């Protein structure tokens, strides 16, 4: 399975003008039969790219649909999906593309479609970021491998427990493994003020 970012990077320069036919053909491979000159196509570009990498996108044309795809990450890696608001932050409009780091001014670099009517790399204001998403298996809600070798669903930490808002993502957490000698009776002794928590 090829990295979606690498596939997307090979499409830089496709545009709504002189490369319109090639762009339409590329979008069609992702199941989006549309005219990029008349329909916003940033999400269609992400869908088509994921499809060519063997993954599945949202299948929708609205950028914000990617907020329900994969799993949220706080520390993005190159190729993660970045979702932005456009206009009203609580509205429906948005933009989506692949994370490509930060520019010298701290703005988020995005490799995406419909950026200046073309596939290009552009920088976006971090204030408009809605979130970074990582696909794992590429299917929304499908498990990915966690650091302990088990399956981890989006929204869970490495122990399989629900991830709390503001909690580090599973990629950044270190598993907690208590070191208890089960043969040592002191392992089961509690201070007097701790006993009340058991009743």
- Angle made by CA atoms 156, 181, 167, in degrees to the nearest 5: 20
pTM value is 0.69
Q: Where are the domains of the chain?
A: 4-140, 143-194
75 close to 104: Cβ distance less than 8 angstroms: no
| Tens of each residue's pLDDT in the chain, 199 residues | 789 999 999 999 999 999 999 999 999 987 788 999 999 999 999 999 999 999 999 999 999 999 999 999 999 999 999 999 998 888 899 999 999 999 999 999 999 999 999 999 999 999 999 999 999 653 333 333 433 344 444 444 434 444 343 333 333 333 333 333 444 444 444 444 433 333 2
Distance (Å) of CA 46 to CA 23, 50, 67, 176: 13, 6, 13, 36
How far apart CA 157 and CA 175 sit, in angstroms, is 10
CATH of 4-140, one of 3.40.50, 3.90.930, 3.30.43, 3.90.1720: 3.90.1720
144 close to 151: Cβ distance less than 8 angstroms: yes
């Amino acid at each position: 399975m090829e990295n979606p970012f690498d596939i997307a990077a090979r499409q830089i320069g496709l545009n709504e003008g002189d490369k319109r036919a090639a762009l339409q053909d590329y979008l069609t491979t992702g199941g989006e039969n549309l005219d990029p000159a008349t329909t916003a196509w940033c999400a269609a570009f992400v869908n088509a790219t994921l499809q060519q990498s063997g993954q599945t996108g949202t299948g929708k044309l609205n950028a914000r649909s990617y907020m329900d795809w994969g799993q949220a990450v706080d520390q993005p890696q190159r190729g993660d999906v970045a979702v932005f608001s456009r206009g009203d932050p609580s509205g429906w409009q948005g933009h989506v593309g692949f994370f490509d780091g930060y520019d010298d001014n701290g703005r988020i670099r995005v490799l995406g479609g419909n950026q200046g009517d073309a596939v290009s790399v552009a920088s976006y204001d971090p204030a408009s970021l809605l979130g970074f998403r990582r696909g794992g298996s590429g299917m929304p809600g499908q498990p990915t491998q966690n650091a302990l070798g088990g399956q981890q669903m989006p929204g869970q930490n490495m122990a399989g427990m629900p991830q709390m808002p503001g909690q580090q993502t599973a990629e950044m957490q270190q598993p907690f493994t208590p070191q208890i000698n089960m043969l040592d009776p002191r392992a089961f002794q509690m201070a007097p003020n701790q006993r009340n928590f058991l009743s």
